[in-house]
Structure formats: structure tokens, C-alpha cells
Amino acid sequence: MTMSKLQTAAEACRPIRDGATLLVGGFGQPGTPHTLLGQVLAQGTGELTLVKNDANEPGLGISRLIEAGRVCRLIASHVGLNPLAVAMSHAGRLQIEVYPQGILAEKIRAGGVGLGGILTDIGLHLENPAASRLVEVGGIQYKIEPALRGDIALIHAERADTMGNLVFTGTASNFNPAMAMAADLVIVEAAEIVAAGALDPDQVHLPGAFVDRVVLIESTGSDYGVLKHHALQA
Amino acid sequence: MTMSKLQTAAEACRPIRDGATLLVGGFGQPGTPHTLLGQVLAQGTGELTLVKNDANEPGLGISRLIEAGRVCRLIASHVGLNPLAVAMSHAGRLQIEVYPQGILAEKIRAGGVGLGGILTDIGLHLENPAASRLVEVGGIQYKIEPALRGDIALIHAERADTMGNLVFTGTASNFNPAMAMAADLVIVEAAEIVAAGALDPDQVHLPGAFVDRVVLIESTGSDYGVLKHHALQA
Amino acid sequence: MHYKHRIAQRAAREIRPGQNINLGIGIPTLIMDYLPEGQQVFVHSENGIWGMGRRAAPGCEQPDLIDAGAAYTTCVAGAACFDTLTSFAIIRGGRIDLTFLGALEVGQNGDLANWIIPGKMTPGIGGGMELAQKSRRVVVLTTHVNKSGAPKILKTCSLPLTAPACVGLIITDLAVIEVTGEGLRLRELAAGVPVDEVVAKTEAQLLVPAGQLPTF
Amino acid sequence: MHYKHRIAQRAAREIRPGQNINLGIGIPTLIMDYLPEGQQVFVHSENGIWGMGRRAAPGCEQPDLIDAGAAYTTCVAGAACFDTLTSFAIIRGGRIDLTFLGALEVGQNGDLANWIIPGKMTPGIGGGMELAQKSRRVVVLTTHVNKSGAPKILKTCSLPLTAPACVGLIITDLAVIEVTGEGLRLRELAAGVPVDEVVAKTEAQLLVPAGQLPTF
């Protein structure tokens, strides 16, 4: 019997329930799991907490879920490219919580690697010493940042094998490896899926031990293409 | 002008002074930087603190420095394959400090990525609550493990380019990537050194931003070969 | 069959298809020879392999591919190699379904002591503490008594613990014993071993079910 | 030449061979056009590139290769791509030699405020706080006054800080000003700009050296 983690998007995303916390890969378009997000939209799941670096841009990625009113809370590092999400936050229809980008990634990693949290001096000048949890190590003050995990991670990879071993490309890696470690159920979409043994063990970016389900991207349409407004004009 | 980080072992290791703390890659033989360690031995450096997963085996790797009396202190996770190091510790001639393997790696990584430390629940049952630094996060007790850095890291890679981008192989990766982030001066030996542009940017395991000096391994003799006593008999 | 192999063979029956497993030093490494044929199991080696295969055949050793005990090993199709950080992320992140470990002592509440022998310098815990504490299930493989003939399965461990209340099942040369909420329950007997002998050689209280017990 | 390009051109002269540099959003991205030819500089982009090249030529965009501002970009020979964890390990680990950032306000002690505008919802700090706090040197590129004509270089910042005492040099459309232990020292003037104008448009105390100042 040969094992395979390959499933359809509908099968893979079935366990995603209202009220879930989803870790969503991507920095802007690259690495955003459009196929899996499309499935979540289609199946009507709501009351979601999303953790993603940014809010994508209007009409794209997680912004579609936000626009459809499916998201109550977004944990991110920068939502500047999505005025729509900013407006919804102003209107009290979306709760946005921001962290410095690398600290958000480290909080998620800590959750994934079984740590309780990290000690950081980033942004310490903004803390209220009375309200914050500060500790001193080696004569330096640090703030305790608790680990952050999700119920489900939605991950985009360039290539996967049927065992769930993943390869990323370019700037599409971003939050994907950290998030693929930090959820109870890890669902991956990949542009290409190969047989076990087709990937060089040295060239796997994230071992399949972390991955539960793998989905083949069937339509690599406009969601995965070049956004003309971010390209130089000819 | 084309930049290159390529140096001879003697040039690269010149800044290693008596009393330095060295982070040394390797889990057993694979990933141990034999060429760089040979240079440290040859140049007579002593009073060293070494951080390495293990103590190698008698006559090999860091054990040569230990046997030559150059090491006062070893921070490791397991020295069971080196009875000589154990005996020297008993005799009070070598101070050995051990941590759980993954926690040692995380302490080093924390030092490398600019964190003050990590919160872990590993081995909490052995702590003296009065003596340890415990904190509660989300209702769970954790211990504060401070970050660990070295003055110099001695790293072994399979392949490097002249910019210091590194590729590891098999089980020779081990502590090397974490340590290559966590020292003020990072010296790498590689079995092969290629021109900038010869490595696929997606297939670099550790970006050259962390690497200061690259040394070509000139003799891949017995140090890098198969140890017969760990092989099955024909 | 040598008792170590009989323990390993019995232990292999605890493995379910698709599980991520880790094999500690000693008897656990022998399980490699009894893995169910044609059933995908992912063997994790804490020095950086997921999908480890059998030991390298003589003459086929790759210098940079060893197991956690330093023996030359191989990869199966679909394997991945990685660094220590990733390897222990798998362990502490709760992705190891089943770990087999040796023991110096096991307490009746599942406490495990397998790293410090009093009066000897400890060589360090290596990856054992994280494996014991964070694997979803820990199965101990051990002789029932130590070299002096004293029981290893105790009411309370006397040695410093590797991890508290972590053991789910104990497989020895004499018996299979389950750690339950009510205490230690005798599940199976080694062929030819009477219940009385197991009870006599176990310091902890044993719950012995009525009727015939299966043998292995 | 537009003032933004003049600032970028002057800023490029701060770069030393072999340095790891990061270019923030806005004027700093223009530096890419003024990098010294034939001199190796490693441009870091916090979304996962070390060795970033110029923006992708029209029609040559790769969908999965963007800069931190979402524009399609390229890699130079010797580049590496990686994830966010590695990217910020480079930043917080102190491996960025030089970062160019924009500013809303700069304090005379080197305080930098560039992320929260009062009364507006902040879109988040992104990677700016870590870059400002951990880069070995921070050079601010900004207009000397804001859109209302009010000075941006102040005795004390009024906005929430991105990072305290992090700025080493300020390059504006009017002048180059160094942050020193003694305070802000006027170093250079934009061509045709009198010292009086710079002093008048700077709220903070300026140390003005005697004699002719270089222009840029």
C-alpha cells in the first residue's frame, strides 16, 4: 500500500469550521493559497480569525473573505495595500491586530516548534512597563511574546510530493514554512505534485512530517499571474 | 571589482584568539569542520570554550583540541561517544555543560536571530522553582532559556559560492545553519566552492548574508571518510 | 530468537500505517528489521532525517548520512534531510506519533528515567528528553529487571526523570504492560513466562486481568 | 533632476563595497538606480531576497518574485531567496550594514517616527521597526519639511517612535545632517540652498561648521 496525502480542495478544506483560526501564507500575492481560500469562500465558512502578513489587495486573496464578511479578526504586520480592510476596521467591522513582521513570524514559529514564546527587545520603547510582561536577561530588558498557533494552516508551495514534502520558490516562501509548522491541521496547495522519491531529500524546504493534506492547484489563472499595476509600464 | 569571501584556512582562522567561544557544527562526524579545527589546532589557540552537539570521538574533530588541553569548557547535548572527554570531566580538566539537544539548538538560534531567549517546558520537572526563572504564559509554566552566541562559528558545508551562500547535505546540516547565524565572525569550510550565480537562489540553505569567510577543503582524507566501526561488517 | 529481537518484533506491532515514528538507541533500533512490509511508516532520526531506511549495506555507506547512534544509514523514497532546528521542531511540535525508548526505571504513573545513573557522569540527555516529553505516544522497551536482578518497573522512580508521566506502554522480555489511569495493567506474557514471575519481578502494583493472557 | 532622485543619488554615496543594505519604501527604492557600477553590494528585501536586482523589465515579470513594496523585481548572480524567518534573522541578527528609511519626524537624538499618523488608522509597522532598531546604520531620506511646510527635524518627536536613537544620517532635499553625540551637525547643502534656509526649516538645534560647506 502506498500512502498519499493528496486530496481535492473540497475534501481537504472540509474540516474548516465557522470560528476557526486560520494561518494563511503569503506576502502580497506570492505564496498566497488562492485555491484553498477560494474553497473556504465557496463552502461558506465564516466568523474566521485569519493570521496573514497582510490583507492582500481588494478583490484578491484573503480580501475576498474579508469583503464577504467572513472574517472577524485579522492578525497581520501591514495592511497598507488594502484600503478596504482599513475602512472596515474603522467602521468596527473588522478587528485588526498588528505586530512587527519578523516578530509575528517568530510568534508563529514558536507555536510550531513547541515553545511557549520568545523574548524580544523590538518595540520595547512603546511598551507600558506596568502593563507589559518584561523580563531581564543578561542585563537587558525583553518583552515576552507568547507563541501563536492556528487550528488550520493554508499553505502555498511551488512543488510537493505525495508525502507532503514541500519546495518553495522566490519570494513565495515568506510565512509559509513557519505557518506549516504551527497548526493542528496543515493543508497545502501546490502548483506541481510529484511522486515520493522525485524530490532530492537535500532540496526539500519543509519535510512532510508537518503536512497533513496536499491539494493540486487546478487552475493557475489570473490569481497566480502578474498584477499589471505592480509591473513597470512598457 | 568582483567580491569574494574566499580565503585560506590560515587567513580565515587568524582572528581566533585564546579564550574565544567557538560554535562548532556537526553531529558526530557529518558536518564537523575538520579543516578549520585542524587549523585551530595547528595555530596553537587555547583556553577555548566550545559549543558543539557532542565531543566527537577520541582522535577526531573537537576531541583533538580537547585531548591537546586547548578546551576549558564544552557546551553540548551528549558526549557519550567520547569516554576520553568524560574522563577529563571527571578529572576536573574539562567543564562540560549539557542541554537537551533541541533546546541547545534553539538557544543558539535565538542568539542568531536577535532574540533574548526562549520559553520552554522541556525538562521543567528537573528545575528548582526557587532557583529557576519560570514564567507563566497561557496558564502553562515555562522556563526562560537565554540566547547563546559565540565569538566565532566554524561551519561545514557541502557547497558554497564566493558570496557565502551555503548548501548542506544529508545529516551534515545539523547545528550548522543555527550556528552560522549566531557568531560575530562566521567561517565556513566547503567541499566545493562555485562562482556567484552557480547556485539556484531557491536551493540555497543559508544565505551568504550570514557568512564572512569561505575556505575550500583541500584534503578530503580520512577525516571526511567512512568510520569503519560505525559501518556494518561485510 | 534473542529476547531483544522478540521485544523489537512485538514493538513493531504497535505501529500504525502513516505514523511518524522515532527509534531510540538500543533495542528500539532493532525495530527497523520488523517494520510491516509494504506499509508506509515514516522513521524520523533526530539528527536530521524523515524517511530513514535500513542501515547502509557494507561498502555503500555515505559519510554524511548517519542515524542518531552514528551508524551509516539510508533514505527511503520520499525522505527529507534537514537541520537540528527542523528536526526538533517536528518533535516538540507534536508531530511524532510514536517513540520507542529504553529505560533505567519506569514508574507506575508512566514516569520515565533513562539518562542519569547515580555516581556516573551523565553523558547528557541528547534528544531523549524532548522525545519522551513531546511524542504523542511513548513505548518503553527494556529488560524487566536490571543487571543485578532488581525490578525496573517501580512504584516511584528513584533516578532523576527524563520526563514525568510520559510512558503509555512497556514491552519487556517477560511481558507487555499498559500504563492506565488506574495503574499498570498486565496485557501480554512472553511465551512460557508465568504471571507469578512477572508479578514477582515488578515492584509496582500490577493489575492482572482474569483469564488467559495473550502471549508474544 | 527631481529632488527625490537627487536625495537618492546622494544617499548611494553612503554605501561601501560588500555591504548588506536594505531600501525602505518611497525615496529609498530609487537608490537602486544609483548603486555604484561594478561594485558588489547586496540588496536585502525583507520579503525574502538577498541579492535583489533592479525592477523586472516589462514582460519579464516573474509572478513569485516581488520586492517588499509588491513591485516585480529580479535577482543578481549570487542571490538567495528565503522565508520571512530567515529574512528577519538577517535583520535582527545585525547583518544589515545600512538601511535607508523614510521619516515623518526625526528627533535631534536620532529618534525616528515613520509609522503612525495621529487620527489615522495605522496600517502596521511591517518590517520597519526591526530594520530601524537593528541595522548597524540607519540613514533617513526625507523632505526637509512636511506637506504643510512644518519642520520634520525636531528637538523631540511628537509621534510614536519607530525606534529610539537609531538614525545616523539625515539626507533631505535641502541638506545632509549627521546625528552626533553633541547633536545634529550640518554636513552638506543641496546646490543653491543657503545655510539660513536650512536652519530656518529645522526645529532642532543645528551645529553649523564654520566655512564653506560641500554641496550635492
Strand order across the beta sheet in which D206-207 lies: D73-81, D49-55, D42-45, D20-23, D98-101, D138-142, D167-172, D175-180, D183-189, D206-207
Distance CA A40, CA A46 (A): 9
For residue B1, tell me if it sits in a domain: no
Distance CA D97, CA C135 (A): 42
Helix (H, G, I), strand (E, B) or coil at C128: helix
Give the pLDDT score at D25.
Answer: 87
ipTM of the prediction greater than 0.95, yes or no: yes
- Indicate yes or no: CB of A197 within 8 angstroms of CB of C82: no
Give the pLDDT score at B1.
Answer: 41
Query: How confident is the model over D49-99, as pLDDT tens digits?
Result: 999 999 999 999 999 999 999 999 999 999 999 999 999 999 999 999 999
The catalytic residues of C are 46
Query: How confident is the model over B106-142, as pLDDT tens digits?
Result: 999 999 999 999 999 999 998 877 777 899 999 999 9
Burial A179-193 (b: 16+ CB within 10 A, else e): bbbbbebbbbbbbeb
- Indicate yes or no: CB of A3 within 8 angstroms of CB of C40: yes
For residue A129, tell me if it sits in a domain: no
Distance CA D88, CA D71 (A): 20
Give the pLDDT score at D157.
Answer: 97
Please, what is the average pLDDT of chain C?
A: 95
Q: Comparing C-alpha atoms, which of C6, C3, C47, C56 is closest to residue C25?
A: C47
Quote the cell numbers at residue D161: 517612535
Q: Comparing C-alpha atoms, which of C201, C213, C188, C210 is closest to residue C151?
A: C201
Place of cell 533516578: C159
Residue D72 is classified by DSSP as: B
Instruction: Give the pLDDT mean for A74-96.
Output: 95
Q: Comparing C-alpha atoms, which of C8, C41, C40 is closest to residue C24?
A: C8
Residue pair B93/B67 in contact by the 8 Å Cβ criterion: no
**Cβ neighbours of residue C170 closer than 8 Å, sequence gap 6 or more:** C103, C106, C139, C140, C142, C153, C176, C177, C178, C179, C184
Q: C183 at the B interface (CB within 8 A)?
A: no
- Domain span at A67: 18-115+151-192+205-233
Q: In the predicted model, is pLDDT for residue A3 greater than 50? A: yes
Half-sphere CA count of B180, side-chain side, radius 13 A: 35
With cut-offs at 50, 70 and 90, classify the pLDDT of residue A103: very high
Nearest to A209 among C77, C85, C95 (CB): C95
CA of D165, closest CA in chain A: separation in Å? 11
Interface with D, mutate which of A53, A113, A140, A171 (most D CBs under 10 A): A171
Give the pLDDT score at B2.
Answer: 60
Q: C36 at the A interface (CB within 8 A)?
A: no
CATH number at residue B61: 3.40.1080.10
Query: Which residues, given as ranges, of chain B have pLDDT below 50?
Result: 1
Q: In the predicted model, is pLDDT for residue C215 greater than 60? A: yes
Quote the cell numbers at residue C39: 506499509
Q: Which chains touch C (3 or more CB pairs under 8 A)?
A: A, B
Q: Which chains touch D (3 or more CB pairs under 8 A)?
A: A, B
Give the H/E segment covering residue A178: helix A176-181
For residue B40, tell me if it sits in a domain: yes
Q: Is the pTM of this model over 0.80?
A: yes
For residue A135, tell me if it sits in a domain: no
With cut-offs at 50, 70 and 90, classify the pLDDT of residue A116: very high
For residue A71, tell me if it sits in a domain: yes
Q: Which of D37, D46, D182, D188 is catalytic?
A: D46
Query: How many domains is chain B partitioned into structurally?
Result: 1
For residue A143, tell me if it sits in a domain: no
Query: How confident is the model over D37-50, as pLDDT tens digits?
Result: 777 899 999 999 99
For residue B5, tell me if it sits in a domain: no
Q: C119 at the B interface (CB within 8 A)?
A: no
Quote the cell numbers at residue C45: 532520526
Instruction: Give the pLDDT mean for C102-108.
Output: 97
CA of D22, closest CA in chain A: separation in Å? 15
For residue A95, tell me if it sits in a domain: yes
Interface with C, mutate which of B77, B101, B103, B179 (most C CBs under 10 A): B101
Which residues of A fall within a CB distance of 8 Å from B168?
Answer: 202
Angle of helix A101-112 versus helix D84-92 axis, rounded to 10: 120
Distance CA C126, CA A102 (A): 30
- Indicate yes or no: CB of C58 within 8 angstroms of CB of B234: yes
**Cβ neighbours of residue D164 closer than 8 Å, sequence gap 6 or more:** A125, D109, D110, D111
Half-sphere CA count of B58, side-chain side, radius 13 A: 8
